[in-house]
Structure formats: structure tokens, C-alpha cells
Amino acid sequence: MDKMTESNHIPYKTEILVIGGGSAGRYAAKAAARKGAQVMLVDPGPFGGLCILKGCMPSKALLRSAHVRHLIVSELPELGLRLSGGQVDLDMNYIVDSKDRMIQDFADDALQGILNNPSITLVEGLFHFTGTHEGLISGRPVTFQKAIIASGTRIRLPHINGLESEDIMTSDDILETRILPKKVVVIGTGPVGLELGQYLHNMGSEVTILNINPEWGHGLDRVISEAYLDALRARGLSIQMGITNEWVDRTPEGPTLHYTHEGIEKSVPFERLLSAIGRIPDTHSLDLEAAGIKTAEKGIIKVLPTLQTTNPDIYAAGDVTGILPVLNVATFQGEMAGENATRKSPLPIPEPPVPIAIFTDPEYARSGLSESEAVFKGHSVVTGRIPFTDLGKAIVYRRTDGWLKIVANESDHKILGAEMFGPGASDLIHVIHVAIALGATLDDYQKILHIHPTFAEIFKYLIDEMTDAI
């Protein structure tokens, strides 16, 4: 490829070195290049990063097939529709191949965005620091004035007595498998566990999802959290929170997971165990100490509000900072780190509200502060809650599983946050997210007209109720 350097004999020298070609790294490199810097981006390959290759995009491609299959199998009768011929056959080879083609297109597009930038040199290789302003790329020396670490994360694996490596599947494995396991235990109820657990269930696997935490969504609204989990359970998922004393034994039929739940000893046989207990920063091979960079637990890189590390000439962005491992934060931090690396006096980065979502059916989403977070920050708040059973379009579409909660400041009615689950929540949340980001009040929002009937009317209905109550 043009712009890909392979010689190991001539030392590299660059103004800004970006480590990692994922979302944070690409945005950092482009931002620094826009400011006039000469940038070198080093990535071990394959190029694209977690979101494109093994995260956001491939999982949603698979979930689309799974959600449609569930609609056909489980929801057609209530719409007055009948499926002649019965069985919905799966073509897993086509599903995975189609996903792979889409992901390759995304990766190629991301690569071309870097290769076509005359201020960025892309180098494929493994990097580690050898000093405060130098390192090695697959054995070849490189010196830099500033650096940005955006090396992303790697999968954590659970430690359960009796569990063997061949029992475990990771999210990477699920995205590639063409023969689905018949019985799956999922450890973890975060986005990966719930999304891929529902994917497997909708495609025909028997799925049990377990978590050691007694509550889902610490600090979030309990009514909405429990209703959300109940909606997933109603669609066939077994979800149990607060388990303890996990261990595995084996019989000729296969492994069985034993655990305690609500004081009762339980067991579930499984073919594979999906580890969905999160990820940790992929910093273990960077030799951060050689660069004077300190880390916190699990390898998280400590950063200042400017995204500078303990080495002021080296920044970190994205999941390695441990701040919030979602793409919109990674790209935002990457851009800010890229700009700061070109400044003589770096600036503290803004802290905009962050929308997040879980792409189950129904979807979950939130933006801004929860009620407990707002109170912790010193706000006196007013709150409102409304179920989707009060929403006309939800009723006629037979999609009434859902709730919305809004948190506002009591004194000036400024909208501080929102939390919801329901059909299309990942898109709907942007309606209220814009209001939160622009500092709008309940009174401002109440003046907005909405199309009827729409799912977005749920915000108008709730805010009308809240302003009437105030």
C-alpha cells in the first residue's frame, strides 16, 4: 500500500505519534493534521478498531437478523398475520458472510480516510515506549514530540472454579460463529451480555444471563431498570441478578454451572459460556513506565482534564482512559487530544452530556444525569415518569413495553437528564438529548409541536404533565 512503510533500517521521526487506529486514534490523527501537524499513526492491524471490526457494527448487523426472526416467530399473530409453512430457517453462512462484507466496507472506508490525508503516515506494526519521547515500532526506532495513546481495550475473562478455556466464548467468537451453541450461559448484563444474549436466544439458543451485582444499572431509576429487565424476560431471556458461589463441574453430557441465587442453590447445564464482564485497557505491552506514564487499576491510563497523562507530552483518548467506553466519547476525546497535542497550552476538554444505548428489543437509552447523579451534584430536582402504555402509536403498533423518565432542575426547570426503554429508544433519546445539550428547560420544550401519532410524542406528553404539576 502507498503510505505504508515496511523498512526497519531508517529511524522514524514525527511531530505527533498516534498509537492505535480505532475510532479515537483516527479522530486524533485527523484533528492534529487539520491543525498543521505531521502525524504518524501506528496500528498493529487489521485496521479499523473495535467498533468497526468486533463491536458496534458487526453486532448490530447480526442483531438485525435476530430481531426480525423474533418478529416473525413471536409477534405476527397479534398483528393478524399467519406464517404458512411454519419454520423460519436460518442461513448462518449468509448472515455471517453478509456481516463480513459490510464490515470490510466500513474498514476500507476508514483506512482510505487515513491514506488519503497527506499529513498522516500510517505504519503497521507493534509499538512500545523506550523513553519519554521515543519507542520502537516492530523493532524500528521512532522519536516524537507529542504522542496520543488510543490503543483501545481487550476482553476480560471470568475466573470461575472448574471453568476451562474451551468452555468460554467471547463476543469476538459469537460474531464469527456459524454453528450456534444450543445452551449458553452469559456472565454479565451490560450491553454486550444483553445484546448478544438476546441475539443467541432469538436465533434459537437456550440462554441464561447471570450477574453478581444485585441491581442492574447502579444509580439508575429502579422502576425503569426492573421494567426493562422484565421486558427482556418476557421475550424469553432468563436473567438473574445477584448470584454468588459460582463453580463448574462436568458430566458426560457436558459442563454445568452451579451458583446461589436469593439463597437457593441452582445449576444450569451449558454448551458454552459467553464472557461479557467487560474489557480492560490494552496497555500491557506498551511499556508505559518507560515513558513516565502512570496507570490506575486494570491498566487504565490516568489523565488530566486536558487528556494529558503523567507525561505532559503524551495524551490518552478513548477506552484506555476508563472514562466511558462508548464510541461517541472515544471520537470526541480523540479529536480533543489531537487538537491539544498541537497547542502550546492545552485546554481542558468540555464535558458534554453523553447519550448511550443498548440495542436489545426493546432498546434502552439515556442521556445526561440520572436523578441520583443530579442530587449528588447538588441539584434539587423534579422528575416525571410515563409508560408507553399511555402513548397512542405504541398502542396501535402493539409496542407498549417502555418507560420514560425525565429529570429537571427544580428552580429553573432546566432539563438535566432522561432515561428510557422502548421501541427505537436509541434514536428517540436524541430528541431529548438535544434539549439537554442546549440547556433547554421544560417550558422551552413544551412549546415544541410534535407529529401525531409518533413515538417521539412521549416526551411532549411527559413534559406537559411535569409542567402542569409544577
SS3 17: strand
Structural domains of the chain, count: 3
- Check whether residue 416 and residue 330 sit in a common domain: no
Evaluate whether residue 59 is within a structural domain.
no
Would residue 264 count as lying in a domain?
Answer: yes
Nearest Cα residue to 17 out of 312, 220, 313: 313
Q: Side by side, which strands form the sheet with 264-269?
A: 244-251, 254-261, 264-269
pLDDT score recorded for residue 164: 94
Q: Which residue has the cell 448484563?
A: 189
Same domain, yes or no: 34 and 142: yes
Res 469: pLDDT: 78
Are 41 and 105 members of one domain?
yes
Q: Please check whether residues 396 and 295 belong to one and the same domain.
A: no
Q: What is the dihedral of CA 413, 418, 421, 427, to 10 degrees?
A: 100
Statement to judge: residues 20 and 151 lie in one domain:
yes
Which pLDDT score is estimated for 390? 95
Same domain, 372 and 320: no
Strands 272-275 and 168-169: parallel
Residue 81: its pLDDT value, please? 87
Q: What is d(CA 63, CA 234) in angstroms, rounded to the nearest whole number? A: 18
C-beta atoms surrounding 167 within 10 Å = 19
Q: Do 330 and 317 form a contact (C-beta atoms < 8 A)?
A: yes
State whether 222 and 326 are in the same domain: no
Instruction: Tell me if residue 452 is catalytic.
Output: yes
Asked whether residue 82 is assigned to any structural domain, the reply reads no
Residue 263 annotated as part of some ligand binding site: no
Question: Which residue, among 434, 441, 437, 365, has the nearest Cα to 407 in the 3D structure?
Answer: 441
Q: Of 277, 294, 327, which closes a domain? A: 277
| Residue 189 annotated in ligand binding | yes
379 in a structural domain:
yes
Phi/psi of residue 86, nearest 5 degrees: 80, -100
pLDDT by 10-residue block (mean), the chain, 470 residues: 53 96 97 98 95 95 94 88 80 96 96 97 97 97 98 94 95 96 97 98 97 93 96 96 96 95 96 96 96 93 97 97 93 98 96 96 98 96 97 96 98 97 98 98 96 97 91
Q: Which of 218, 284, 450, 452 is catalytic?
A: 452
**278 marked as part of a ligand binding site:** yes
Output the nine-digit C-alpha cell for 356: 448511550
**Residue 458 sits in which domain range?**
356-469
CATH code, domain with 129:
3.50.50.60
pTM of structure: 0.94
Do 273 and 288 belong together in one domain?
no
Given a contact cutoff of 8 angstroms between Cβ atoms, the answer to whether 123 and 5 are in contact is yes
Alpha-carbon Rg of the chain, whole angstroms? 24
Q: Evaluate whether residue 74 is within a structural domain.
A: no
Check whether 22 is labelled as a binding-site residue: no
